[in-house]
Structure 1
């Protein structure tokens, strides 16, 4: 199974808490990617991707890090089986020939000690374009769940993708060219187990 991997910025981790670069694994049960596009400029078509994978690497000493986030395009789910078939077809995601979409980033924009954006690139349908994720919220800390304590970093992010830039021009302009992405991510150190 080919999955997306995401290396995610942990720019607000305390340097005192971690002494070397740390690898974090995205928890797929608490991570989601939703999309939305206008339909005849009257309603909004929405959906999500069900199979997500990712890694985060962060070095608090230098502020360097990276995202490598992947999604299986065949896992698209709009809640409408017929529409899902169209979205998986060569008219849109072409899941048979392009099974993975990939987001990679290595620039974290921090203002006043707060992560405000992540800049990188999105690869889809054999095309790679710049992508900036705006941060709605992001934080790190320990949580306790079912008696297990672990460090967790997570947040909500959003971006707009112009689908025609990746060659997806079917049903333009009736189906909007601008696709909004809403991404929620939770990640823990790679050697920990998420309940």
Structure 2
């Protein structure tokens, strides 16, 4: 039974990496199994029904390409309840990519770096030039990844800052033009999450660096190929790579934070060749 004019169940639908799932379908049944509401999420993934009678309900959220999610909601005397964020996993998302070589597509991938500035906010940059490949082994824990980044391709949107980052104070690109990463082992930490153990070489210094990796799924692209998507993060200490620049602007406050967060959004194409350049797609 619903009561018109008031909001009943409300919530939002997101993917595991935080994106809204528009047009997901919310189905609500009472404890007898009778359907009492069915609504579609809006473009921002928001869910909302009319007010419901007080009691317990089963909430089921479905969307094409995702696994269904179910929860129980307790509606108060006001006729409303907040189910919070409903997280949907991609259907087949834990089925790993087929074994073989996968080539990272720079046109649909990003390597970002985030550092704190003045102890107040963050400065975001990205490397525009890089190449990487992933080899999926028959036994997944034997899989490997390697990457080469053009250090001079750092871009923060400010030419003066970029020139300083390329200088010996930071990346020292004249002496060390490339940043490289090579995995050494792989460890599964959850159903679709992995820890990649590896070595990062930057400015002539090599250190162990772990990537917290989320596998987002595999699917066909519009050029007849097959793609796998990943998201990864890592935390670096600048001093570990001989970046000691630390201008103090006032007591206890430095211009640039001592740690850098690295964020990777990766699409890899099955095989050793990338598709021919295509016009930008919407």
Q: TM-score, normalised by structure 2?
A: 0.58
Tell me the alpha carbon deviations over residues 66-123 of structure 1, each in whole angstroms, 9 at most, x when there is no partner. 1111110000001000000000011110011110001111322214543322111111
How far 1:159 moved relative to its partner?
A: 0.8
Matches within 5 A, 1:5-44: 13=96, 17-18=98-99, 22-44=100-122
- Judged with a 3 Å threshold, the aligned counterparts in structure 2 of structure 1 residues 112 and 46 are, in CA distance, closer, same or farther, namely closer
- Judged with a 3 Å threshold, the aligned counterparts in structure 2 of structure 1 residues 112 and 39 are, in CA distance, closer, same or farther, namely closer
Matches within 5 A, 1:1-195: 13=96, 17-18=98-99, 22-61=100-139, 63-135=141-213, 137-145=214-222, 148-171=223-246, 173-194=254-275
State the alpha-carbon separation in 2 of the partners of residues 30 and 183 from structure 1: 11
Structure 1 contact 150–192 (Cα < 8 Å) conserved: no
Q: Identify the range of structure 1 (164-173 vs 78-87) with the bigger mean alpha-carbon deviation.
A: 164-173
State the alpha-carbon separation in 1 of the partners of residues 198 and 166 from structure 2: 25
Q: Which has the larger radius of gyration?
A: 2
Tell me the alpha carbon deviations over residues 137-174 of structure 1, each in whole angstroms, 9 at most, x when there is no partner. 313422231xx332211111111100111100112543
Q: TM-score, normalised by structure 1?
A: 0.83
- Judged with a 3 Å threshold, the aligned counterparts in structure 2 of structure 1 residues 115 and 107 are, in CA distance, closer, same or farther, namely farther
Number of equivalences: 177
Instruction: Please provide the CA RMSD for this pair.
Output: 2.0
State the alpha-carbon separation in 1 of the partners of residues 220 and 140 from structure 2: 26
Structure 2 contact 103–271 (Cα < 8 Å) conserved: yes
Structure 1 contact 12–140 (Cα < 8 Å) conserved: yes
Greater RCO (Cα-Cα under 8 Å, separation 6 or more): 1
State the alpha-carbon separation in 1 of the partners of residues 184 and 217 from structure 2: 19
Structure 2 contact 184–199 (Cα < 8 Å) conserved: no
